[in-house]
Amino acid sequence: MRSSGSLRVPTPWTWVAPLLFLSLAGFFSYRILVVRSLDPQQAYGPAAGRSIISEMSRKPSFSFGFRNVLADIVWLEAVQVAGNKRMMPGDYARLYDLLNVVANFDPNFEIPYLLGGLVLGESPDHAKEALGILERGKANRPADWRFPFYIGFTRYFSLGDPRGGGEAMGEAARLPGSPSYLPGIASRMLLEAREPEAALALLGAIVGQETDPARRSVLERRVREVLVERDLQILERGIERYREKTGSFPGELHDLVREGILAAVPQEPNGGRYLLDEGGKVRSDRAAHRLRVFKRI
């Protein structure tokens, strides 16, 4: 005969549900590793986005109370994708899918919105997806000034939309706790032409205030991109002056120094070199593309 203080016999679901969940998590992790080992791009392609976990995120009530844990598992996968040194188009698409799955499971988890939006915004072809992620974060955390701030950042730098960027920065400036420099940034975006020097001043203020190491790293990389564009414009103007002066293009960039047009050839901020191509075109040997925002028409 059991006393009133005897231990209760656990029902089967108290241990079956966690065991089932752990088995599923292990299975999906194993499948990711197997697919990557066979074809790294396949792991990030559209088919990879149609997983059981992805479908489950559309109806989080089917997660048996493990919504936050599932969000963490998918977020770890998203961090791995975002950490690729050379992001391919399929990587950006896969990252966008993963970020939406994380948001489905845990809409109040703000870091994926912010970091994911910044990484997606690095690709001009995925800037709209970046805005979609950031807008989703803003809808879930409307009092957080960082979301309209990064929306403005993406509109300005990735889409070349100073008006939209300025309006978003102005919205951020009106929210409680926002930095005092935001009104000035908003007005400069709305009034300034798209000049690299203005962008560097803006980025300097942003980097100085950012405390998250991952976001700071992305912003510092963007500073280097803007420095490259600034230098390329300086060199292009120098080449045009050289052609007007001599009637031909320079044979090398140091000809601009020898002719007194430039004091020195700028130093490439990524540790690379600026190269002079045929027809007076100049490029960096480290930058894959130029920033469209500052490209003169």
Q: Per-residue pLDDT tens for 155-208?
A: 988 888 888 998 999 899 889 899 888 888 887 787 665 578 877 887 888 788
What is the token pair recorded at 191?
A: 């009034």
User: Residue 191 has what pLDDT?
Assistant: 67
Could you list the residue range(s) of the whole structural domain that residue 35 is in?
22-227
- Residue 232 falls within a domain, yes or no? no
Residue 40 has pLDDT above 50, yes or no: no
Q: How would you class 145 by CB atoms within 10 Å of its CB: exposed for 0-12, middle for 13-18, buried for 19 or more?
A: buried
User: Residue 226 has what pLDDT?
Assistant: 86
From CA 12, how far away is CA 16, in angstroms rounded?
Answer: 6
Number of residues written out for the chain: 297
Q: At what angle do helices 110-121 and 89-105 cross, to 10 degrees?
A: 160
- Residue 278 falls within a domain, yes or no? no
Which DSSP string do the residues of 18-40 spell out, in sequence order?
HHHHHHHHHHHHHHHHHHHHH-T
Residue 221 has pLDDT above 80, yes or no: yes
Single out the residue of 238, 243, 282, 232 nearest to residue 263, CA to CA.
238
pLDDT band, residue 86 (cuts 50/70/90): confident
Identify whether the C-beta of residue 114 lies closer than 8 Å to the C-beta of residue 137.
yes
- Residue 271 falls within a domain, yes or no? no
- Residue 245 falls within a domain, yes or no? no
Q: What's 222's domain CATH number?
A: 1.25.40.10
User: Residue 238 has what pLDDT?
Assistant: 96
Sign of the dihedral defined by the CA atoms of residues 120, 188, 145, 200, in that order: positive
- Residue 237 falls within a domain, yes or no? no
Residue 3 has pLDDT above 50, yes or no: no
What is the token pair recorded at 284?
A: 């960096």
User: Is this prediction's pTM over 0.75?
Assistant: no
∠59-61-62 over CA atoms, to 5°?
80
- Residue 292 falls within a domain, yes or no? no
User: Residue 57 has what pLDDT?
Assistant: 63
Which of 17-26, 39-48, 267-276 comes out lowest in average pLDDT?
39-48
| Domains: count for the chain | 1
Chain segment 108-141, per-residue pLDDT in tens: 899 999 999 999 998 889 999 999 999 999 999 9
Residue of 222 and 100 predicted with greater confidence: 100
Helices marked H in the chain: 13-38, 46-49, 52-57, 67-82, 89-105, 110-121, 127-140, 146-157, 162-173, 182-191, 196-209, 213-246, 254-258
For residue 276, give the H/E element and its range. Answer: strand 274-276
User: Residue 5 has what pLDDT?
Assistant: 47
- Residue 215 falls within a domain, yes or no? yes
pLDDT band, residue 48 (cuts 50/70/90): very low
Mean pLDDT computed over 52-69: 65
- Residue 162 falls within a domain, yes or no? yes
From CA 282, how far away is CA 90, in angstroms rounded?
Answer: 29
